[in-house]
Amino acid sequence: MSSTDSSADGDRYVAVHGSAGFKSLQRQTNSFLIRASVLFFGWWFAGTALAAFAPGFFRQEIGGPVNVGLLFMFLTFAVVVTVCATYLRYAANRLDPLTDQVRAELEGEPR
């Protein structure tokens, strides 16, 4: 570890925070999180609203002991897995390269 001036480190972090690369990283991260949140919470709200205001719809049998409500809950797990897998792919392809650029800018090392 080096004994550098902490105010110089703070200035470096402030400079990186204001950089175009960091703002691009924030913008892309927030863009994905907003879309994923709207998808998941929209799905969750639709299910809650249907269960509360149209319970007969959720009680409709599809086949055997499976009804629409049970199918909806299974599909909720599928939505969660899909959002997670999509995020992993998005982060690997779009966010990780930007993160490496910001880290290199912060550390002052070419990558």
Residues in the chain: 111
Q: pTM for this one?
A: 0.77
Tens digits of residue pLDDT in 54-67: 999 999 999 889 99
Concatenating the DSSP letter of every residue in 34-64 gives: HHHHHHHHHHHHHHHHHHHH-HHHHH-EEET
Instruction: Tell me how far apart the 2 most distant CA atoms of the chain are, in Å.
Output: 70
Q: Is the pLDDT of residue 110 over 60?
A: no
The residues pairing with 61 across neighbouring beta strands, listed in sequence order, are 67
